[in-house]
Amino acid sequence: MARPGSRSSGRYRYLPFLSAVLSALLAGAGCSGKQPPGYQGYVEGEFVHVSSSEAGRLVRLSVTRGQRVRADTPLFALESINEAAAQRQARQRLSAAEAQLKDLRTGKRPQELDVVRAQLAQAIAEEKKSAADLVRDEAQYKAGGISNARLDETRARAESNAARARELSSQLDVAGLSARDEQIKAQVANAAAARAALEQAEWTLNQKAVAASGAGLVFDTMYREGEWVRAGSPVVRLLPPENIKVRFFVPETLLGTLAIGKDVVLHCDGRPAGIPAKVTYISTESEYTPPIIYSNETRSKLVYMIEARPSADEALELHPGQPVEVKLR
């Protein structure tokens, strides 16, 4: 029997520990054989940079970082004094052009027509009187009661009154007509140009107040109220849930088993259950192990980048830069 403190007794003292380690390794090997392999990845967001096509001073920032907004939620507003004045001016020009077009189409006013009718009635009365005078003077001339000059004067007055009556009758007919076709066409074009100018002014004014095109997270705000914003410069960075994706890398030997639409499961800290997702992109170019995901096992192997997207509801729990583990189904 070995004495205490001998070499053989020390060897036997470590047997329980080695047995426990061996049991743990065998158990781990048994579990790893049943579970699908996991691949390290990270969350990435495709941001929407919301800006205005017009420049101006930022007078109202309606959202804050970290706020979730719905579609049509007001985001920010720029100073719009000049644009509002231009819109009013364009609206007044359109009203003037349409009124002038209406006037050309309707002819003279009823009061103006009444004046022409009265003048025509007076001219007809004078025509009748001068015609009667001509008949009387012709009889007097034949009887030798008046001279030839007197008869010529009466005849000229009768012809003049008849011509005046015809003139006023024609004026009355013309007064009831609209303007000439070419004038109306020209005014129609002027009214259309004024309407287009109004639409442009309204569009420019609407660009000074910007709302969210869809639901999402306000990831960041780039300006403060009172600052000058250049045209096209982003003011708010939105992250819609459908724009959240996961990038992970798989070895070349596994590439043939993947296809667009394949189901995967995402695992992250703080959530026991996995998040379902679908493969949406498979890189066509190989690369070495990316420096962001470093491991001794894969540093010398070629890998392919894969992108997967969860549903919009599930994506709300993921954040850009967050590490995840992806398991294939």
pLDDT score for 33: 46
Is pLDDT larger for residue 183 or for residue 222?
222
Is pLDDT larger for residue 56 or for residue 116?
56
Q: What average pLDDT does range 197-215 have in this prediction?
A: 96
Is pLDDT larger for residue 126 or for residue 276?
276
> 176-198 in b/e burial notation, b at 16+ Cβ within 10 A?
eeebeeeeeeebeebbeebbebb
pLDDT, tens digit, for every residue of 239-270? 999 999 999 998 888 888 899 999 999 998 87
Does residue 225 register a pLDDT over 90?
A: yes
Phi/psi zone of residue 72: left (φ > 0), alpha (ψ -120 to 50 degrees), beta? left
Does residue 207 register a pLDDT over 80?
A: yes
pLDDT, tens digit, for every residue of 101-157? 888 877 666 766 677 778 878 888 888 888 888 888 788 878 777 888 887 888 888
Q: Which of 213, 256, 257 is nearest to 238 (CA)?
A: 213
Does residue 58 register a pLDDT over 90?
A: yes
Token pair listed for 49 = 């940079």
Q: How confident is the model at residue 296 (pLDDT cuts 50, 70, 90)?
A: low
Q: How confident is the model at residue 67 (pLDDT cuts 50, 70, 90)?
A: very high
Of 15-19, 181-185, 212-216, which gets the smallest average pLDDT? Answer: 15-19
Q: What average pLDDT does range 169-183 have in this prediction?
A: 68
Mean pLDDT score of the chain: 82
Instruction: Please state the pTM of the whole predicted model.
Output: 0.64
The 3-state DSSP class for residue 243 equals helix
